[in-house]
Structure 1
Amino acid sequence: MSTEPETTENAEPGTPGTEVTPAGGAEEADTGQAPDTESGDGGAGEMSEAEGGDAGAEPGTGGGDAGVGQVSEAEGGDTGAGGSDRGAGQVSEAEGGDAGSEPGTGGGDAGVGQVSEAEAELRAQQVERERIEQRKAEKKAPIESGTRLRGKAADLLAAVRAVESGEKPAATVFEEPRPAPRRPAPEPERRPQPVAPEPVAPSAAPAPETVHAVRQVLGEGGAPEALAPQVAAALGESAAEQLRADPWQLLRVAGVRPEQADGFARALLGTGCGPDDERRGRALTGWLLEQAALAGHTALEMPALLAALAQRGVPEPDAAVQGAIAEGEALVFQDALEEAGTAARSDEDGAEEDEERPVRVLVGLERYALAEESLADGLARLVNSAPKQDGSAADWERAAAAAQGSTADLIRAVAGQGLVLHTGGEASLAEPAALLNAARSLGLRAWAATHGPIGRNRFAALLRQAGGPAGEAADASRQPGAAGGPAGEAADASRQPGAAGGDAPGRPAADAPGTGVPVATVSGLLAGLEGPGRDADGALDLDLLVVLDAPQLDVETAALLTESMPDGARLVLAGDPAVLWSVGPGRVFADLLAARICPQVASRRPDPGPLGELVSGIGVGELNKVEAPGKELVIVPVRDAGEAVHRAVQLVVDSVPRAIGVPAEETQVITPGHGGAVGTRVLNAALKERLNPGPGRFGGFDPGDRIVHSLVPGRAVPGRVVTADAEGLHLSCEGETVVVPKERVEQSVRHGWALTAHQAVGSRWPAVVVVLPGDAAQALSRPWVYTAFGRADRHLSVVHGVEQALPRAVAEVLAKPRTTRLPVLLAPQVSGA
C-alpha cells in the first residue's frame, strides 16, 4: 500500500513475522527518515509508512454491489468512470461550471504574541508528571506480589529482587495497585499576560556546545549530523559521552530505526559490537516499548515482547528484558486473570495449599505505567466518594422531570454519582447541553470541555441555542488569554439566562467575568488558559465537568483531568464509542465502558437525515443504501490515483459549491494517510494550486493558505496563514492568534485542505469529501470509515476507488486491540462501590 497510514492502531507487537512500528503491519522499507507525525518528525502523532510510488490503476467501476451507491457526475464533469451499482441510490451532481473559489485570508492582525495553548499544556503536564513520580517514590513499603510465579516470570522476579538494594530502585516491580492519598495539582497561571511565544521552555533547548559535541560523534559514526539537536535534547548535557559509550542510545531519537543504530554502532565500535551486545538488547527493549506506545498500548505482554526481540536478532531476549528492568528503563507487572482471592485445595494428607492463580506478565515504560495508575486512583476516588449536595434531591428530580428520555436519565445519574459515562452520536450532544444548563440553574459551577476549538465553538453555539436567546452569550473562542480576544468583549455567562443557568438562589454561577459560555478545550482547561481556573488546593474550581469527545483521551491526559478534579465534584465523560481511539496510548473511554464501574447512559437520539442513517449503519457494521433526495450523499467512482486527485479537487472547487451551496473554504477533504499518490501532501498541493496559488515563500506557505497547527501530538488545530515576519509564521486558528517560530514551522504546520481522519476527529464541517484510492484498502476499518463519514453536517462526497474493500472493512475490520492495565487497576479499588 502506498498510502501512508495515519492510524496508530495497526501494529500488533510481538506477532511473528510482523514489526512493532507506529504504522503497524509488516516492516517498512528503511528510508532513513523520521516518522511523519502531526507534531513534527518523530512524534507520537500520525504514523507513516515510507512514502510509496504511484498507486496502481484500480478499476473502481467494475460489477458488484459496494453497498454505498453510485451517483452520476455533473454534466460537463470529467468522470472517466463506469456505472456499476454501489448501493445507496443514484444522485446526480449539478451541471458544469467553474467555481473558481478564492480562499479567505482568515485571521486578522497577529497582535501581541501569547504563550500557546499547547505549550502551556506541555508545561502543566510536565509538572503533573513530576508530582506523580514523587508520589510513587514516597511509597517506601514493599508491595507483595501476592502470587507464585514459574518459568520466565519467576526468573524476572528474581532478577528484580536482586537489584532492589542497588542504585536502581525496583520497588515498583510486580507491585499490586493501591490507592494513594490525593495531592493537589500545582496551580497554573490563571490568566497569563501576553508574552513572546516560545515553542519550548528555554531550559529545554540543548546548549550549543553540547550540540557541537554530538555532531562530531554522529559524524564519526556516519549518522546524519542534522540529528544532533534531537540527540542532545533526548540525552542531555552528556549526550556525546553517552552516545560514544553506548551507540544504541541513538534509538532514543524518534524516527531512528534499529538497522540505522546498528550501522552507527559498528562504525564507532568496530568489531567490538555484535547482535548479542547487552547494550543493544536494552536499547531495543526500550525502542519496542516506545513503538508499542505509538500503536496505542500502555504495556506489552511478556511473550509478545520476547518474540519481537527475537525477531530483531537478539539472541537472548530474556536477558535483554532483565537488563532493561535492572537499569530502570522498563517496569514489569503481573496482572491476575481472574478475580482476587486464592482458591484452596486439599492434598493427599488433607492439608490445604494455595492454588496458583493465572497471571499475565506485562512490561511497560514508566511514564505510561504511572499515568495509568494515577488515572485509576483518580477514577476510584470519584466513584467511591459521594458528590457534594449542590441542590436538593427534589431540585434535581424537577430538572430531570422537565427533560425527556435519555436526557432525564443523564440528569438523574449525575445527581447522585461522581462519575457517569454518556454515549451517543452528534445529535446526543443536546443531552450534555441540557445537563449543563440544568446544573448551572441549580447553582453548580459547571463546565464542558471538548477535544478541539471547532468542537468547543459548536458546543457553545448549542448551549446558547438550548438555554437562551442566540447571541446573548459571547462565543467561548473569545476568552481572554485563551483566544486572544480583549477581555470584556464576551458577556458574563453567569448572567446569561438559561445558557449559564442565571443567578441561582444561594450561590451564583461561578464564571469569571468575561469568560463567555462555560466551554473550554481540554488542553486549555488543563493549562489554565481556559475554563474556571484552579482553587487554593490546585484543583479545578468547579463542581461539574462534562468532557466531550471522551474517546480521544489518552491515559496521560485523562490522568491529569481526574487528578485535577476537586473532592465532591462530578465528572461526566461523553462521546461516541464508535469513532477512532486516541492517538496517544490507552483506550480510556472503552476500558471504562467495559469495566462498568459507574452509571452509563446511552442516548436515544439518532443522528438525523440520510447522513445520520448512513453513519448509524456503519457503526453496527452495515453499509446501507440510503435515499439522498437533497444530494446529501454523492459517490464518485474513480479508476486510479490520478483520477482520484482530479475528482477530489473538482468537487471542492466546483461541484460542491455550485450544487450544494457550500463554499470551498467550508469543505474538508479527508484521506487515509499523509504519503502516497493520494495522501494529504499530494491533495494539499493540488488544492493550493487551485485555491491559493503562490510560491510558498514562508517555509512553503503563503498568506491565505489553509493549515493545521499541531504542536502537541494528536491535536490538529485548523486555521489560516495570516503573514510572516522575523518572529515566525502568524496563524489565525479558530479565532486565536498563533505565532510559530520559523524553526518550528516544518515540524508543526501542515497545509489543511486535506486531513487524515485522526486529524479531523472532534470536528465537523458543512461538506466533506472522503477520498478512498485503490491503494487505501488495507488502511480501512470500521472506526476509520465511521469517523471520516461522520465529519459531514450537510453533504458527503465519497471518491470511491476501493470497490468491495469498503463494505468489507465496515463489516469485518474492527479496531486493533490495545494492551492496557486500566481495567485491572480499577477492579480492586472500586470493588466495594
Structure 2
Amino acid sequence: MTVPDPSRGESAEVPPSDAAAEAEVEVQVDSEVDAEVDAQAGETGEAGPVGDGSEGGADGGPDGGAKPAPTEAEAELAAQREERARIERRKADKDGPVESGAKLSGKAADLLAAVRAVEAGEKSGTAFYENPAPAPRRSAPEPAAPVRHRQPEAVPAPPSAAPETLAAVREVLAAGGAPKSLAERVAALLGEGAAEALREDPWQLLAVPGVQPDQADGFARALLGGSAGPGDARRATALVGWLLERAALQGHTALELASVRAALAERAVPDAEEAVRQAVAEGAVLVFQEEEPEAEESEDGGAEESEGAGGAAVEPARDSGPPVPVLLGLDRYALAEESLADGLARLAKTVTAADWDGPELARACGAHGLVTHTGGEAARAEPLALVLGARERGLRAALAVHTENGRRRLGSDAGAVTVADLLSGAAGLARDEDGALALDLLAVLDAPQLDVETAAILVEALPDGCRLLLSGDPGVLGAAGAGRVFGDVLAARVCPQVASRTPDPGPLGELVSGIGIGELTQVEAPGKEVVIVPVRDAGEAVHRTVQLVADSVPRAIGVPAEETQVITVGHGGAAGTRALNAALKQRLNPGPGRFGGFDPGDRVAHSPVPGRTVPATVVSADAEGLHLDRDGEKVVVPKERVEASVRHGWALTAHQAAGMRWPAVVAVLPGDAAQGLSRAWVYTAFGRAERHLSVVHGVDQALPRAVAEGLAPAPTTRLRPLLEALLAAPEEE
C-alpha cells in the first residue's frame, strides 16, 4: 500500500462518498465517548474502582508550604455560584415567596409546589407544564453612560469541608471499600452530615462524577450486607438521577419516560415504573411534557387524569390521538432552561427598534433584541464588524468568544473577551446598580458551545433593552454539557436569522463546506493543504501520527510541532488521546514525569472548570502546585487538583478542540473509532485546521458514510417549546 506523505509532495486525495452504504454511527452513552469525558473536564482523572481502597490525587510535586491562594478555577466557580445566588435573590424579591416551597421562592418554589401537589393528588402532571409570562424587568441604562472599566476583584475560594467531616466520610468510604480520595467530593455534595447520609443511603455515592452503578452497588453491599438488593428504593432513586446526569453529558436536559424505564430495567431494577414514581414523589426528578394534552371527557363529563402510585402522576392518560411524550428531568436544568427562555423573551420584547444602516446583520440587530447569525470561520468577521460599528455609534458593545484561542484569532483590535471572563468579572466590564452588565449590544461567537446553565447566567446578566446576537457554525459539535442552546433557538424560529454568504477560502474551506452538506469530495490541494495517510491498524495510526507531527509536517509544510494539533475520536482505545499523548511525549518531550506525571515543556490540556479546556505548557512545579503557561498567562494548579484537571494535550478530542484552530491539524481515525464518527465530528475535527490537514485514515468507508448519513439525533431539550410559547414567530418580510 502506497502511503502519501507531504514531505514527498504526494497528491492529496479524499475517498469518495459511498451513498449506498448504510450508516453505522450510533450515539452511545459510554465513559470513553469524548462528549462525556469533556463534560466532566473537572474529573479527567477517572475514579478508581470502588473497593480498591487506594488513595487518589497527584503522585508528584513536593509537600508542605503554606495554603495556596484561591486558584483561577476556584475563583471562577465561586463567582458563578455568587451570580446564581444573586439571580435567585432578585427573582425572590420580585415574585415573592411561595407557601409550598419552604425556604425557596420564585421559580424554584413553584416547581417544588407543583411536585408536592402531584404527590398529594391535588393536581395532574400537567401542573408541571405551565409557563408563566416573564415578569417585568428593569430598563436598560442610558446609552450615553461611559463604560467604567475595573480590575477584577479577588473572589474568596468556597470553604472546604471541616476536618472532622472529612475524617468521618473517609471512615465510611473505607468501611465500604471505596477510595478515600472521594471524601472531599462526597462532603461537598452531601454537606456537613455527609458521613451519616452515606451510611443511611450508600447509593448516594453515585452522585460523585465517575462512580459507576456496579461500584456503588459493591459499596452498598459492604455497608448494608444482604439487605442491599437490586430492588432497594434508594438504589432506584439514585439510578434515576444518575441516568439523567449521564444523559446531560450528551446534551440532554430531559429524557423520555420510556427510555428511563428501559435503562432502569437494564440495571436490574425489578419494577422500573415504580422506581420512577418513587423518584418523582421524593422530588429527585421533575415531570414535563412537550405539549399540553387535550383533556379527555369521561362518561360523567369530567376530565380524566392519570393516577400513579402514591398520587404521583407521571404519565397522563390519553384515549385517542398520538401519544404525548412525557419527560423526566433534573431541577437544575429545568430552572436553567426556563430562566433562559424567559431571559431571551425579555430581550426580544424590551428592545427599542432603531434603523441601523449597513449590511443585513446590522439592520437586523438594530430592529430586534435577539438575532442569530450562522456561518463558518470567515463569517466571524461579520459580528466583529457589527460590534466595531456599534462602538462608533457610541453604544456599549462587547464581543464574547468561547476560548482564548478564538479571542486571539480576532486580533487585538476586536477587544473580544471570553464568556468565562465576562461572567467572572475578569473582563472588567462595568455593571449597573442591579448587577447587570452595562451593555447595549452583546455578540456571542462560538454560540454552539454554550451549555444551558452558562447561557442562562449570561442572559440574566444582560439589562432590558440590550441586543443579543448569537453567532456560530451550526455544523460543529455542541457544548460539552447539558443543552442545545444555539440549535434550539434556531429551530424555534422566534427571531431573525441571518446566514452568512462568506465562504471559507481555499481547499480546506472547500472540503469542510462539502462535509457540512453531507459530501466528502476530492479537492485540489496544490499546496499540500490536505493529505490522506491510510493506515492498517491502531498501532500504525499512532506511529504515523508521531511521524507527521515530529517530522513530515514541520519539514514539508513549515509548521512546527508545537503549532500542530492532533485530534482523535475518544480518550480510550489503542489510538485515543491517552495512547497518542504517551507516544508524542516520548518523541517530543521525554522525561520521567516527576511533577504528577508531567515535565517542563509538556503540552497539556487544563480544565479549570467542567466543560472548559485550555491548552497550556508546563513550566515547573513547587509546593504551590503545577505552574502552567497559558499563552503568556501564568497559572498555578494546586497539586491536589493536578490529576483531576490536567492532561497531556498534544492530542485532544474534537469536543475539546471546538472553538479553537491551529495552523496544522492531524485528524486520527483508527479502525476502532468507526462507530464514534458522525458528520458533526468530521466537520469539527477537519475544520480546526487553518493551513494544513493530515488525515490518518483507518476507517475505510465508515468516513464517507459518517459524512453522508451520520446525523446524530438531537438531544432531548425543552428550550425550543418554551421559546415558542413565549415568542410569536417573526413576521415575514
Scaled to the shorter chain, the TM-score interval is 0.7 to 0.9
Counterpart code for 1:687: L
TM-score by length of 2: 0.82
In the alignment, what sits opposite 1:191?
A: 151
Counterpart code for 2:118: R
Q: Distance in 2 between matches of 1:570 and 1:666?
A: 37
In the alignment, what sits opposite 1:668?
A: 565
1:645 aligns with 2:558: no
Mapping of residues 802-817 of structure 1, within 5 Å: 802-817=699-714
TM-score by length of 1: 0.73
Long gaps (5+) in structure 1: 1-8, 13-19, 26-33, 50-112, 144-155, 401-407, 462-474, 476-498, 500-516
Match of 1:306 among 242, 245, 261: 261
* Secondary structure of the corresponding residue to residue 359 of structure 1: coil
Alpha-carbon shift at residue 753 of structure 1 (Å): 1.1
Mapping of residues 452-467 of structure 1, within 5 Å: 452-459=403-410, 461=411
Counterpart code for 2:607: S
* Secondary structure of the corresponding residue to residue 178 of structure 1: coil
On the 8 A contact 1:231/1:239 being kept in 2, the answer is yes
1:385-444: per-residue Cα shift (whole Å, max 9, x none)? 22375xxx3xx22xx0xxxxxxx1101101111011000000111111211121111111
1:631 aligns with 2:588: no
In the alignment, what sits opposite 1:740?
A: 637
1:285 aligns with 2:227: no
Change (3 A) 1:240 1:344: closer
* Secondary structure of the corresponding residue to residue 593 of structure 2: coil
Alpha-carbon shift at residue 674 of structure 1 (Å): 1.3
1:567 aligns with 2:464: yes
1:448 aligns with 2:399: yes
Alpha-carbon shift at residue 680 of structure 1 (Å): 1.3
Alpha-carbon shift at residue 621 of structure 1 (Å): 0.6
Query: What is the identity percentage for the equivalent residue pairs of Structure 1 and Structure 2?
Result: 63
Alpha-carbon shift at residue 649 of structure 1 (Å): 1.0
Mapping of residues 207-356 of structure 1, within 5 Å: 207-336=162-291
1:744-794: per-residue Cα shift (whole Å, max 9, x none)? 111111111111111111111111111111111111110000000000111
Change (3 A) 1:202 1:830: closer
In the alignment, what sits opposite 2:133?
A: 179
Match of 2:333 among 368, 380, 395: 368
1:620-655: per-residue Cα shift (whole Å, max 9, x none)? 111001010111111111112221111111111111
Alpha-carbon shift at residue 829 of structure 1 (Å): 1.1
Counterpart code for 1:829: L
Change (3 A) 1:289 1:458: same
Q: Distance in 1 between matches of 2:500 and 2:117?
A: 48
1:162 aligns with 2:119: yes
On the 8 A contact 1:345/1:355 being kept in 2, the answer is no
1:71-116: per-residue Cα shift (whole Å, max 9, x none)? xxxxxxxxxxxxxxxxxxxxxxxxxxxxxxxxxxxxxxxxxx9865
RMSD: 3.4
Change (3 A) 1:328 1:194: closer
In the alignment, what sits opposite 1:678?
A: 575
Counterpart code for 1:317: A
1:186-244: per-residue Cα shift (whole Å, max 9, x none)? xx99523679xx8xx241x2222222212222222233333223222221111111111
Q: Distance in 2 between matches of 1:764 and 1:35?
A: 21
Mapping of residues 141-160 of structure 1, within 5 Å: 160=117
Q: Distance in 2 between matches of 1:755 and 1:797?
A: 15
1:41 aligns with 2:40: no
1:335-357: per-residue Cα shift (whole Å, max 9, x none)? 3168xxx69999999x9xx9988
* Count of residue correspondences: 649
In the alignment, what sits opposite 1:423?
A: 374
Change (3 A) 1:24 1:657: closer
Indicate the structure with greater helix content: 2
1:529-569: per-residue Cα shift (whole Å, max 9, x none)? 01523222211111111100000001001101111111111
Counterpart code for 2:189: A
* Secondary structure of the corresponding residue to residue 783 of structure 1: helix
Match of 1:413 among 358, 361, 364: 364
Q: Distance in 1 between matches of 2:136 and 2:267?
A: 42
Q: Distance in 1 between matches of 2:363 and 2:393?
A: 14
Q: Distance in 1 between matches of 2:221 and 2:30?
A: 23
Q: Distance in 1 between matches of 2:472 and 2:655?
A: 15
Change (3 A) 1:292 1:348: closer
Match of 1:385 among 350, 357, 361: 350
Mapping of residues 703-718 of structure 1, within 5 Å: 703-718=600-615
Alpha-carbon shift at residue 816 of structure 1 (Å): 3.3
Change (3 A) 1:737 1:42: closer
On the 8 A contact 1:211/1:232 being kept in 2, the answer is yes
Change (3 A) 1:37 1:290: closer
In the alignment, what sits opposite 1:437?
A: 388
In the alignment, what sits opposite 1:526?
A: 423
Match of 2:689 among 768, 784, 792: 792
Change (3 A) 1:643 1:48: farther
Q: Distance in 2 between matches of 1:35 and 1:613?
A: 31
On the 8 A contact 1:388/1:569 being kept in 2, the answer is no
On the 8 A contact 1:48/1:675 being kept in 2, the answer is no
Mapping of residues 764-783 of structure 1, within 5 Å: 764-783=661-680
Q: Distance in 2 between matches of 1:123 and 1:373?
A: 23
* Secondary structure of the corresponding residue to residue 390 of structure 2: helix
* Secondary structure of the corresponding residue to residue 290 of structure 2: strand
Counterpart code for 2:394: G
Change (3 A) 1:274 1:562: same
On the 8 A contact 2:353/2:366 being kept in 1, the answer is no
Change (3 A) 1:216 1:172: farther
Alpha-carbon shift at residue 360 of structure 1 (Å): 2.5
1:238-295: per-residue Cα shift (whole Å, max 9, x none)? 1111111111111111121222222222222222232222111111111111111122
Q: Distance in 1 between matches of 2:256 and 2:353?
A: 41
Alpha-carbon shift at residue 725 of structure 1 (Å): 1.5
Alpha-carbon shift at residue 314 of structure 1 (Å): 1.7
* Secondary structure of the corresponding residue to residue 796 of structure 1: strand
On the 8 A contact 1:534/1:541 being kept in 2, the answer is yes
Alpha-carbon shift at residue 332 of structure 1 (Å): 1.3
Change (3 A) 1:228 1:120: closer
Change (3 A) 1:35 1:761: closer
On the 8 A contact 2:507/2:523 being kept in 1, the answer is yes
* Secondary structure of the corresponding residue to residue 547 of structure 2: helix
Alpha-carbon shift at residue 313 of structure 1 (Å): 1.7
Counterpart code for 2:438: D
On the 8 A contact 1:38/1:716 being kept in 2, the answer is no
1:573-612: per-residue Cα shift (whole Å, max 9, x none)? 0000000011011111011111000000000011110000
Change (3 A) 1:826 1:141: farther
1:600 aligns with 2:497: yes
In the alignment, what sits opposite 1:491?
A: none
Change (3 A) 1:799 1:209: same
Deviating more after overlay: 691-700 vs 124-133: 124-133
Counterpart code for 2:401: T
Change (3 A) 1:648 1:636: same
Q: Distance in 1 between matches of 2:127 and 2:372?
A: 32
* Secondary structure of the corresponding residue to residue 479 of structure 2: coil
Long gaps (5+) in structure 2: 1-24, 50-67, 102-112, 141-147, 304-317
